[in-house]
Structures are given as structure tokens and as C-alpha cells.
């Protein structure tokens, strides 16, 4: 089991904990007693806030999708703070309302610059151009690395796909934890509502056309408690990954 619980909800956490203990004690016939103390748990990880552990700052070097077609180069905006107690509130309507309100630009083809700051509400947020070391982009690692809130976040994303030719009937395939929305060249392509796990090809778009040359992908991942990450690739008509693309952040 794993109750996705956030740190900034102490009241709720307390209720859950109390509930757990009282429920356990009465329902499961465990005699009341002290909650056992945890054994010592050694810290073996590098706990410093370091971006380069999971990411490489994006360079001008040519970047292609990985062997399975996943897009690993992204412009990632520092998280917009959101008070979200549970991911199950992330319905389609919630996504639409929130993402149009907490947006840095309603021009979905805009390409921000690495290091640029933008305003979302009264928050001043900075863009990072990053290459993920894994097939997916772990936003939890990202927010930890830049020492920003890890839970209750909305993260905006942009990347630029260079296609050698026009490609019809391709599909954008994404998985995200938790909810997300995706746009291709300004057009809404995908909505992934709910308390989701990041699963490759969890949701696919309708048939789309990649233009010859630059295509702008915009994304937004929103997460309350728990892990936040996403993976994204393009599939051809047969469901196979498209790999003859190049990815840039400009």
C-alpha cells in the first residue's frame, strides 16, 4: 500500500495516521500499544540538490530520440505551486481550468529560452533546458535538484522536434504521473486526467501530422502528492516508435 500523502498537509496526514492506528487497534484486534520506533535507516544517497545527477544541461549537440523513441530533451519550468490534497481531483475540467489560469503564455507555439524567467501569477519562475538521463523525465528529481517544492506542483514543458519530412498519421504517446496535457504546434493533442501512474504509451493522441522542420510540443504535468514524472514519444501508424527526429530547445 502507499497512501500518496503530501508533506504540506499535516492535518490530513495526522488524521490518516490516527485513523490507521485506531482502525488497526480495534478492527484488527491488535492490542493498543506504542507505535514501534523505526529502526535506523542509513542514508546512502547523495542528498545534495544537484541537477546533474539525473539530468545533463542541454547543449547545442544534436539529440535524437532514444532507442525506443522517447524524447529526452526538454525545457522545464520551475514548478508552479498548487495546493492539491489528492490527485483524484485532477479531472478533465480541473486540468483545463487550472492550466489556462496558471499559464505563462497562451501562445502554445512559443519557445522559451534557457535561463529565461517568466511570471505565472505572482511567482517568478525560471526555464531549464535539460537532457534526461533516463527514458522518462523525472520531475520529482528536477524539483528536488533545484530545491523547490516536490509535491503540489504544476510543471510546464516545451520541446522542439525537427522532422526531416512531413509525417502524417503519427501519434503522440505519453505517460505521466499524475495528470497532464499536451499540445503539438499549438493544437491540443492529449489530456490525461486523474491519479495516474507513468506508463509508457498510457495515452495516445489521435492521428497527427508532424510538419517538415520544427514542431513545438508544449506540455503541463500536474501533481499533488507522490511521484511526478512523464515519458513521451511518437508512434507511427503501425504503433512503432518514430526515431528519425532531432530534438532541440530552440
Partner 1 sequence: MKQRIQIISTIVLLLMLLSATAIAQVGKPFIHDPSTLMESDGKYFTFGTGGGGLISTDGWTWYGGGVRPGGGAAPDVVKIGDRYLIAYGATGGGLGGGHNGRILTMWNKTLDPNSPDFKYSEAVVVASSDGVEDNDAIDPGLLLDPTDGRLWLSYGTYFGFIRLVELDPKTGKPIEGNKAINIAIDCEATDLIYRDGWYYLLGTHGTCCDGANSTYNIVVGRSRKVTGPYLDNMGRDMLKGGGKMVLDATDRLIGPGHFGRTVLENGVEKMSCHYEADLDQSGRSVLGIRPLLWKDGWPVAGDLFKEGTYEIESVRRGYALELAVDFVRMPGGMRFNRNSDEPIKPVASQQLADVINTWPAGNIPARIGDYMGRPHQKWTITDAPNDTTGYLGGPYYKIVIAGTERALAATADGEVVTVPKFTGASEQLWRIDQLIDGTYRIMPKLVPNSGKKLALVSIGDSSPTLAEFDFNSDNSKWNFKTH
Partner 2 sequence: MKRITITTLLAVLMTQAVIAQVGKPFIHDPSTIVECEGKYYTFGTGGGGLISEDGWTWYGGGVRPGGGAAPDAIKIGNRYLVVYGATGGGGNHKGAILTMWNNTLDPTSPNFKYSEPVVVATSDGYEENDAIDPGLLLDPTTGRLWMSYGTYFGFIRVVELDPKTGKRVAGNKPVDVAATCEASTLVYRDGWYYLLATHGSCCDGANSTYNVVVGRSKKVTGPYLDNVGRDMMEGGGKMVAVTRGGLIGPGHFGHMILEKGVEKMSIHYEADLEQAGRSVLAILPLVWKDGWPVAGEKFKEGTYEIESVRRGYALELAVDMARMAGGMRGFGGQASNEPVKPVAAQELADVSKDWPTGNIAARIGDYMFRPHQKWTITDAPNDTTGYLGGPYYKIVIAGTERSLAATADGEVVTVPTFTGAPEQLWRIDQLTDGTYRIMPKVVPASGKKLALVSSGDSTPTLAEFDFNSDNSKWNFRMP
Least separation in angstroms between CB 235 and partner 2: 12
Interface residues toward partner 1, by CB under 8 A: 3, 16, 18-20, 22-23, 26-28, 88, 91-94, 171, 173, 191-194, 199, 201-207, 235, 237, 239
The DSSP bridge partners found for residue 85 are none
The DSSP bridge partners found for residue 118 are 125
What is the DSSP-derived secondary structure letter of residue 249?
-
Helix (H) or strand (E) segment spanning residue 139? helix 139-145
Contact pattern from residue 155 through residue 194 relative to partner 2, giving x for each residue in contact according to CB under 8 A and a dash for the rest: --------------------x-x----------------x
Regarding 93 and contact with partner 2 (CB under 8 A), the answer is: no
193 binds, among partner 2, partner 1, none (CB under 5 to 8 A by kind): partner 1
The single residue among 29, 60, 61, 67 that binds partner 2, judged by CB under 8 A, is 29
Least separation in angstroms between CB 18 and partner 1: 7
What is the DSSP-derived secondary structure letter of residue 189?
E
Return d(Cα 192, Cα 15) in angstroms, integer.
30
47 binds, among partner 1, partner 2, none (CB under 5 to 8 A by kind): partner 2
Nearer to partner 2, 56 or 227 (CB): 227
Regarding 202 and contact with partner 2 (CB under 8 A), the answer is: yes
18 binds, among partner 2, partner 1, none (CB under 5 to 8 A by kind): partner 1
What is the DSSP-derived secondary structure letter of residue 88?
G
Return d(Cα 228, Cα 205) in angstroms, integer.
21
| Sequential DSSP letters for 16-62 | HHHHHHHHHHHHT-PPP-PPPPPPP----S--S--GGGTEEE--SS-
Instruction: Tell me the residue length of the chain.
Output: 250
Q: Are 152 and 224 in contact (CB under 8 A)?
A: yes
Q: Which of 172, 80, 161 is nearest to 118 (CA)?
A: 80
Least separation in angstroms between CB 203 and partner 1: 4
Q: Residues in the site for partner 2, rule: CB under 8 A?
A: 1-5, 7, 13, 16-17, 20-21, 23-25, 27-30, 35-36, 38-39, 41-47, 86-88, 135, 138, 144, 175, 177, 194-195, 197-202, 225-227, 231
Amino acid at each position: 500500500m502507499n497512501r500518496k500523502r503530501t508533506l504540506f498537509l499535516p492535518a490530513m496526514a495526522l488524521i490518516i495516521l490516527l485513523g490507521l492506528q485506531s482502525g488497526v487497534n480495534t478492527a484488527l484486534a491488535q492490542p493498543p500499544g506504542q507505535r514501534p520506533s523505526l529502526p535506523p535507516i542509513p542514508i546512502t544517497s547523495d542528498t545534495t540538490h544537484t541537477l546533474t545527477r539525473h539530468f545533463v544541461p542541454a547543449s547545442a549537440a544534436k539529440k535524437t530520440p532514444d532507442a525506443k523513441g522517447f524524447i529526452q530533451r526538454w525545457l522545464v519550468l520551475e514548478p508552479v505551486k498548487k495546493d492539491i490534497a489528492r490527485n483524484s481531483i485532477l479531472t478533465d475540467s480541473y486540468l483545463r481550468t487550472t492550466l489556462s489560469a496558471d499559464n505563462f503564455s497562451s501562445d502554445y507555439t512559443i519557445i522559451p529560452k534557457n535561463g529565461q524567467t517568466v511570471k505565472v501569477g505572482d511567482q517568478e519562475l525560471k526555464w531549464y533546458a535539460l537532457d534526461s538521463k533516463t527514458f522518462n523525465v523525472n520531475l520529482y528529481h528536477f524539483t528536488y535538484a533545484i530545491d523547490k517544492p516536490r509535491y503540489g506542483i504544476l510543471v510546464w514543458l516545451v520541446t522542439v522536434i525537427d522532422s526531416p519530412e512531413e509525417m502524417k498519421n503519427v501519434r503522440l504517446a505519453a505517460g505521466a504521473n499524475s495528470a497532464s496535457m499536451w499540445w503539438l504546434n499549438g493544437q491540443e493533442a492529449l489530456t490525461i486526467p486523474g491519479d495516474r501512474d507513468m506508463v509508457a504509451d498510457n495515452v495516445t493522441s489521435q492521428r497527427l501530422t508532424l510538419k517538415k522542420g520544427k514542431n513545438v510540443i508544449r506540455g503541463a504535468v500536474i501533481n499533488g502528492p507522490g511521484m511526478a514524472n512523464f515519458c513521451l514519444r511518437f508512434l507511427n501508424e503501425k504503433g512503432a516508435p518514430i526515431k528519425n527526429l532531432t530534438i532541440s530547445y530552440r
